[in-house]
Chains A and B, each alone.
Chain A
């Protein structure tokens, strides 16, 4: 494989690679895909365009970087508006395809104008203490991210809850869907009672649910009309207390799934 030695050659390679990886890598590999593909959104088109329109060496490095990001973002937006106006759906393929073509064309023009920066960087002398500071900083950032993005326990006094729901079953069936969502902070046992529709009272349970888990059931209704249906939720710890209640009086709404 030929290793690019000039900036615009690297831009071309990176743009093609980004387009390819966006097409081939699944979304589940975001950690790999993002660093490979995002430069085509946030940097490469702008870098190529700026290189194409300015004289070589006209911009300071900071100016070049700033304009590259801003122009890349502007190009992304303008391409999106153009695609939308043409009726093209904004999926990855056309969007990134157009940005890649734009990048390649601009890079070609920049090369033709004599723009070229060497990719060979001079080594930067870094002391041991400086390396230590950078390493410690990175470790602190990693610690901050780990702590910050980890869910922690609830503050004292936080109350959990439980939800009971009741809906007509989907597909016009003479049935109802009843469900429970356990949002308590601990595993909880429930009993559900459903009555109405001329049929017997139905008792469902014990239903044992871990925090965040849910349960649902489809129940046939004996009556052919749309009867009034009631459902009650009781916790096993307090069986005599109705904890939640729902009622279906008017069957003008339907579940999309039980």
Chain B
């Protein structure tokens, strides 16, 4: 079998004489991470109360990354300390997301998953329905885990969701470290690689939202690690436990997230093909690939029937726009711009982002050269290096509006290759720079911090990284935003299962806080048009009848259609749509049931 690494993984390095404690620097790394978490909590508190705190945010990021990177650059560190450092940083960065949204989920995709969890808890059954993301109940892995956490721990759905994602983050860091250690044959490269993976643009926020990929990607990473360990065993009897573990984990991936299972299958098939090309057919992980292939197809047929219809428009639209952009038929997307196209990234951040990308590219080149020179012929290693190249190749696609999201999400998978490739290059540089050890380590730790910052800047808009006022304190208690209050009122006063037309953000609140069947932009394409129109036409009445709509939420605040800012309190005079967008529903046959100013709920059954 030739899937094994070229160099065996060395035994954990021994502590030096100057480090009598096996903990090494771990207490100090822990202190730095804790200080980073404290600083980001402070920055969030300032941001929630209307103050600017971006410098504090960046100070927190430096505290979270730089000391750990510096330590991981060192040669004389125990394996256990390296692993603990990587896990600490991973969880510390997860705390940044938790402290940004400490009271409720606020990412657009989190609401449908929360609703699925609520449905499992209330009905005790899987595979319910979901009006906003209908495909999500067909992949119930994350919600099922969270449901048992809620049941076993007596926790709220929100707390259970946070715990499930924390378990995912823990597995991700452990899985990356073990995978890199086995593949790269170096614990030092493993630690640095796992740390560098945090530079994935989605790592800080998007990859730890309460959504299916946050669990599936870590499980898939562990499946890759299992593949390597399986390959290192030559005796079929010794391979069986690994095959069993792979089977269990692969099934968990398949039932949790469609794309993750397809990517895992693609990785394994690619490994088989590369193995065949390099070493012949025997010894490749055909059985593992076949196993996940069968599981994927069976699930697609039995439960995930709508997956193809869900994914194909996204992919075809992305491909079409790539072609149109190349032909200059579509304007390119502005980099460092928000969803609406407004540039919100400060110039200094743009400089850091571009510097980080250049450093990353340089790191990949050094790593690739090293792999090439040493003629490592491990198929998974070859595949991951190839992924690193593809990642760099996909960066220009961020100019294409429809491809941007697809490329951004593909980056989570491709960056597994980037982390390892760059880390191998860094270890090579560290070993060459032994004479100036401290200076080289400081430079590399600083470069790693810049690369990480670059990922953060590319991943999330500058004005969305810190907490917004989701819950505010008032004398005697706290308040939720008006749309939450309206949604909760609808559930309390009218009961669940009303069919509601609403703007994007409001619809999500009516789904999870009102337990209603919410219909909004993407899945009932005319809803936005209807809500934005100033006249009620016969076609709209037909639409209301067609969807059996009982309630319309007319919210004149422009942010109600914004899936980033629509979940918070408005500060200052709100941007409002025309009054006629609301008053058009105030006609015979409709009931004006609820009025909170800019937000009005109409009972529209009489308009059918």
Contact A136 B474, beta carbon cutoff 8 Å: no
Q: Say if the beta carbon of B23 comes within 8 Å of chain A.
A: yes
A32 to chain B, nearest CB (A): 9
**Per-position contact with A for B539-566: 1 when CB-CB < 8 Å, else 0?**
0000000000010000000000000000
Q: From the candidates A76, A160, A252, name the one contacting B605 in the complex (CB within 8 A).
A: A252
Question: Which residues on A sit within 8 Å (CB–CB) of B244?
Answer: 53
Q: A67-B222, A81-B255, A144-B95 are in contact. List 9 more A-B contacts (CB 8 A).
A: A75-B248, A90-B148, A92-B148, A96-B148, A156-B50, A157-B571, A161-B598, A244-B597, A248-B591
Q: Say if the beta carbon of A29 comes within 8 Å of chain B.
A: yes
Question: Which residues on B sit within 8 Å (CB–CB) of A134?
Answer: 27, 30-31
A179 to chain B, nearest CB (A): 8
**Per-position contact with A for B247-270: 1 when CB-CB < 8 Å, else 0?**
011011001100000000000000
Q: Say if the beta carbon of B163 comes within 8 Å of chain A.
A: yes
Question: Which residues on B sit within 8 Å (CB–CB) of A92?
Answer: 148, 151-152
For chain B, residues 6 to 57, give those with C-beta under 8 angstroms from any C-beta of chain A. 20-23, 27-28, 30-31, 33-35, 37-38, 40-42, 44-45, 48-51
Question: Which residues on B sit within 8 Å (CB–CB) of A17?
Answer: none
**Residue contacts A-B, CB under 8 angstroms, 7 given:** A42-B149, A73-B167, A95-B151, A210-B476, A212-B478, A248-B591, A248-B593
Question: Which residues on A sit within 8 Å (CB–CB) of B226?
Answer: 67
Contact A90 B120, beta carbon cutoff 8 Å: yes
Question: Which residues on B sit within 8 Å (CB–CB) of A246?
Answer: 592-595
For chain B, residues 219 to 233, give those with C-beta under 8 angstroms from any C-beta of chain A. 219, 222, 225-226, 229
Contact A34 B154, beta carbon cutoff 8 Å: yes
Contact A154 B245, beta carbon cutoff 8 Å: no
Q: Say if the beta carbon of A223 comes within 8 Å of chain B.
A: no
Contact B153 A34, beta carbon cutoff 8 Å: yes
In Å, the complex CA distance between A210 and B571 comes to 21
Q: Say yes or no: A211-B477 contact (C-beta < 8 A), given A77-B251, A136-B34.
A: yes
Contact B38 A212, beta carbon cutoff 8 Å: no
Q: From the candidates A66, A69, A89, name the one contacting B125 in the complex (CB within 8 A).
A: A89
In Å, the complex CA distance between A247 and B593 comes to 6
Q: Say if the beta carbon of B126 comes within 8 Å of chain A.
A: yes
Among the 9-residue stretches B325-333, B416-424, B449-457, B491-499, the one with 4 or more Cβ atoms under 8 Å from chain A is B491-499
**Per-position contact with A for B460-471: 1 when CB-CB < 8 Å, else 0?**
000000000101
Contact A74 B248, beta carbon cutoff 8 Å: yes
Question: Which residues on A sit within 8 Å (CB–CB) of B571?
Answer: 154-158
Q: From the candidates A150, A186, A257, name the one contacting B493 in the complex (CB within 8 A).
A: A257
A169 to chain B, nearest CB (A): 11
A48 to chain B, nearest CB (A): 13
In Å, the complex CA distance between A84 and B127 comes to 9
Q: Say if the beta carbon of B577 comes within 8 Å of chain A.
A: no
A145 to chain B, nearest CB (A): 8
Q: Say if the beta carbon of B356 comes within 8 Å of chain A.
A: no
Q: Say if the beta carbon of A250 comes within 8 Å of chain B.
A: yes
Contact A153 B154, beta carbon cutoff 8 Å: no
Among the 9-residue stretches A2-10, A18-26, A194-202, the one with 4 or more Cβ atoms under 8 Å from chain B is A18-26
In Å, the complex CA distance between A89 and B229 comes to 37
Q: Say yes or no: A163-B590 contact (C-beta < 8 A), given A62-B178, A77-B252, A151-B471.
A: no
Question: Which residues on A sit within 8 Å (CB–CB) of B49?
Answer: 152-155
Q: Say if the beta carbon of B596 comes within 8 Å of chain A.
A: yes
Contact A84 B125, beta carbon cutoff 8 Å: yes
In Å, the complex CA distance between A73 and B152 comes to 14
Among the 9-residue stretches B387-395, B434-442, B482-490, the one with 4 or more Cβ atoms under 8 Å from chain A is B482-490
B19 to chain A, nearest CB (A): 10
Contact A42 B124, beta carbon cutoff 8 Å: no
Q: Say if the beta carbon of B308 comes within 8 Å of chain A.
A: no
Q: Say if the beta carbon of A63 comes within 8 Å of chain B.
A: yes
Question: Which residues on A sit within 8 Å (CB–CB) of B472?
Answer: 151-154, 158, 185
Contact A211 B178, beta carbon cutoff 8 Å: no
Q: Say if the beta carbon of B446 comes within 8 Å of chain A.
A: no
Q: Say if the beta carbon of B144 comes within 8 Å of chain A.
A: yes
Q: Say if the beta carbon of B177 comes within 8 Å of chain A.
A: yes
Contact B593 A166, beta carbon cutoff 8 Å: yes
Contact B20 A125, beta carbon cutoff 8 Å: yes
Question: Which residues on A sit within 8 Å (CB–CB) of B494?
Answer: 167, 253-256
CB-nearest residue of chain A to B46:
A152
Q: Say if the beta carbon of B62 comes within 8 Å of chain A.
A: no
Question: Which residues on B sit within 8 Å (CB–CB) of A186?
Answer: 474-475
Q: Say if the beta carbon of B479 comes within 8 Å of chain A.
A: yes
For chain B, residues 495 to 519, give those with C-beta under 8 angstroms from any C-beta of chain A. 495
For chain B, residues 149 to 171, give those with C-beta under 8 angstroms from any C-beta of chain A. 149, 151-155, 159, 163, 167, 170-171
In Å, the complex CA distance between A31 and B106 comes to 24
Contact A74 B251, beta carbon cutoff 8 Å: yes
In Å, the complex CA distance between A133 and B31 comes to 6
Q: Say if the beta carbon of A71 comes within 8 Å of chain B.
A: yes
B481 to chain A, nearest CB (A): 9
Q: Say yes or no: A22-B151 contact (C-beta < 8 A), given A152-B49, A212-B474.
A: yes
Contact B570 A159, beta carbon cutoff 8 Å: yes
Question: Which residues on B sit within 8 Å (CB–CB) of A245?
Answer: 592, 595
Contact B469 A158, beta carbon cutoff 8 Å: yes
Question: Which residues on A sit within 8 Å (CB–CB) of B448?
Answer: none
**Per-position contact with B for A234-258: 1 when CB-CB < 8 Å, else 0?**
0000000000111111101111110
Q: Say yes or no: A144-B50 contact (C-beta < 8 A), given A78-B248, A163-B594, A253-B591.
A: no
Q: Say if the beta carbon of A126 comes within 8 Å of chain B.
A: yes
Q: Say if the beta carbon of B588 comes within 8 Å of chain A.
A: yes
Contact A252 B606, beta carbon cutoff 8 Å: yes
Contact B485 A181, beta carbon cutoff 8 Å: yes
Q: Say if the beta carbon of A105 comes within 8 Å of chain B.
A: no
For chain A, residues 165 to 213, give those with C-beta under 8 angstroms from any C-beta of chain B. 165-167, 177, 179, 181, 183, 185-187, 210-212
Contact B31 A167, beta carbon cutoff 8 Å: no
Q: Say if the beta carbon of A116 comes within 8 Å of chain B.
A: no
In Å, the complex CA distance between A125 and B154 comes to 38
In Å, the complex CA distance between A96 and B173 comes to 27
Contact B469 A38, beta carbon cutoff 8 Å: no
Contact A157 B178, beta carbon cutoff 8 Å: no
B594 to chain A, nearest CB (A): 4
Q: Say if the beta carbon of A11 comes within 8 Å of chain B.
A: no
Q: Say if the beta carbon of B112 comes within 8 Å of chain A.
A: no
Top 4 closest A-B pairs, CB basis? A155-B50, A89-B124, A27-B154, A34-B153
In Å, the complex CA distance between A167 and B492 comes to 12
In Å, the complex CA distance between A26 and B151 comes to 11
**Per-position contact with A for B96-116: 1 when CB-CB < 8 Å, else 0?**
001100110000000000000
Contact A250 B83, beta carbon cutoff 8 Å: no
Contact B245 A164, beta carbon cutoff 8 Å: no
Q: Which of A33, A183, A186, A257 has the most CB atoms of chain B within a 10 A radius of its CB?
A: A183
Question: Which residues on B sit within 8 Å (CB–CB) of A141?
Answer: 34, 37-38
In Å, the complex CA distance between A129 and B31 comes to 11
Q: Say if the beta carbon of B575 comes within 8 Å of chain A.
A: no
Contact A30 B591, beta carbon cutoff 8 Å: no
Q: Say yes or no: A62-B177 contact (C-beta < 8 A), given A80-B126, A185-B474.
A: yes
In Å, the complex CA distance between A164 and B49 comes to 28
Question: Which residues on B sit within 8 Å (CB–CB) of A124?
Answer: 21-23
Q: Say if the beta carbon of A57 comes within 8 Å of chain B.
A: no
CB-nearest residue of chain B to A149:
B102
Q: Say if the beta carbon of B241 comes within 8 Å of chain A.
A: yes
A252 to chain B, nearest CB (A): 5
Contact B154 A26, beta carbon cutoff 8 Å: yes
Q: Say if the beta carbon of B141 comes within 8 Å of chain A.
A: yes
